[in-house]
């Protein structure tokens, strides 16, 4: 990166040493002082509430579609995808200033690997997200118990005609798309370099969720969020949902790790910085 890189839209050269943005320092791996801070617990509460609302609205939408005698009489598959993407857009917008708006253990894991959050905060977020997901789906079952049980409970399972390998691949790639978008949309360098292109971070993140759902609902029902998959599996409590549950943890965590590595060591050239 010793030479300037000319780009057709006039963005800043990657090789410039005069940064027009501030690079946040890496988060400490362990920060015991966080345990004494109210903002730490407030962020955990925000993640719990956001994931609870996310699962409540989205699973209720899924149940409405599955319970209808005709898909044409409901919002259909596209509506389900919009429900997931739209809720992520709204909830990330609401909670980004408090907790960062992760609402997904895979996102938290990717940001942990990139040193954006500490281990303590990551553990708090993942526990809060999983509990929020369970509560959200539990309320849906309480509202419509018979329809919930009869229509699959919104649980993620490998669809008939697809192998577990295919499902795992779909979850890896789908989560990569999501976490890659999260990194790109929240990159401080992008905010400064592309200031002439206004970006509202929750919007591309929500659209990424929407597009991934369109592609993978027929394969797995689309997980890409272990808290979403766990919440539905716990409340539905079906053998098939539990047998396939590992796919909706292993796939998203691998996808998040690949996205974190790609963004940090390829797009942001952290590998070159480490070697210099």
Between CA 171 and CA 253 the distance in angstroms is 9
Specify whether the CB–CB gap between 136 and 231 falls below 8 A.
yes
| Angle made by CA atoms 154, 159, 165, in degrees to the nearest 5 | 120
Catalogue the E-assigned strands of 82-165.
none
pLDDT at residue 15 greater than cutoff 50: no
- Quote the pLDDT of residue 73: 73
User: Among the listed ranges 5-19, 31-45, 176-190, 228-242, which one has the minimum average pLDDT value?
Assistant: 5-19
- Quote the pLDDT of residue 124: 97
- Quote the pLDDT of residue 3: 42
The domain segmentation of the chain, as residue ranges, is 35-270
- Quote the pLDDT of residue 81: 96
195-253 pLDDT, tens digit per residue, is 545 568 899 999 999 999 999 999 999 999 999 999 999 999 999 999 999 999 999 99
114-162 pLDDT, tens digit per residue, is 999 999 999 999 999 999 999 999 999 999 999 999 999 999 999 999 9
Mean pLDDT (whole number) for 260-276: 73
Helix (H) and strand (E) counts for the chain? 12, 0
Between CA 70 and CA 132 the distance in angstroms is 31
Residue 142, CB half-sphere, CA atoms under 13 Å: how many? 7
Between CA 70 and CA 25 the distance in angstroms is 53
Distances 38 to 35, 44, 93, 123, 172 between C-alpha atoms, Å: 8, 10, 21, 16, 35
30-89 pLDDT, tens digit per residue, is 888 889 899 999 999 999 999 999 999 999 999 999 888 776 778 889 999 999 999 999
- Quote the pLDDT of residue 71: 65
Mean pLDDT (whole number) for 94-123: 95
Between CA 130 and CA 225 the distance in angstroms is 10
- Quote the pLDDT of residue 201: 87
- The predicted model scores a pTM of 0.88
Other CB atoms within 10 A of residue 8 CB: 5
- Quote the pLDDT of residue 272: 47
φ/ψ of 275, rounded to 5, equals -85, -10
Residue 21 pLDDT level (bands cut at 50, 70, 90): low
Tell me how far apart the 2 most distant CA atoms of the chain are, in Å. 66
- Quote the pLDDT of residue 16: 45
Residue 257 pLDDT level (bands cut at 50, 70, 90): very high
Q: Which CATH architecture has domain 35-270?
A: Up-down Bundle (1.20)
- Quote the pLDDT of residue 180: 97
């Amino acid at each position: 990166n010793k030479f300037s890189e000319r780009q057709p839209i006039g963005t800043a050269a990657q090789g410039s040493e005069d940064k027009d943005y501030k690079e946040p320092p890496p988060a400490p791996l362990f920060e015991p002082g966080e345990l004494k801070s109210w903002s730490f617990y407030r962020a955990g509460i925000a993640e719990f509430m956001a994931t609870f609302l996310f699962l409540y609205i989205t699973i209720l939408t899924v149940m409405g579609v599955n319970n209808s005698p005709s898909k044409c009489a409901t919002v259909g598959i596209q509506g389900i995808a919009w429900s997931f993407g739209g809720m992520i857009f709204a909830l990330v917008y609401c909670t980004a200033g408090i907790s960062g708006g992760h609402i997904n253990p895979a996102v938290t894991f990717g940001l942990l690997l990139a040193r954006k959050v500490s281990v303590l905060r990551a553990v708090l977020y993942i526990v809060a997200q999983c509990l929020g997901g369970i509560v959200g789906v539990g309320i849906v079952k309480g509202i419509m118990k018979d329809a919930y049980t009869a229509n699959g409970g919104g649980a993620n399972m490998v669809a008939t005609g697809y192998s577990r390998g295919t499902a795992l691949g779909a979850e890896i790639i789908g989560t990569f798309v999501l976490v890659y978008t999260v990194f790109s949309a929240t990159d401080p360098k992008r905010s400064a370099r592309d200031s002439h292109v206004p970006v509202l971070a929750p919007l591309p993140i929500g659209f990424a969720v929407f597009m991934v759902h369109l592609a993978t609902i027929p394969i797995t029902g689309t997980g890409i969020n272990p808290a979403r998959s766990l919440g539905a599996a716990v409340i539905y409590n079906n053998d098939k949902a539990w047998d396939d549950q590992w796919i909706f943890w292993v796939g998203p965590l691998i996808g998040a790790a690949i996205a974190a590595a790609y963004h940090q060591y390829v797009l942001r050239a952290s590998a070159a910085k480490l070697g210099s």
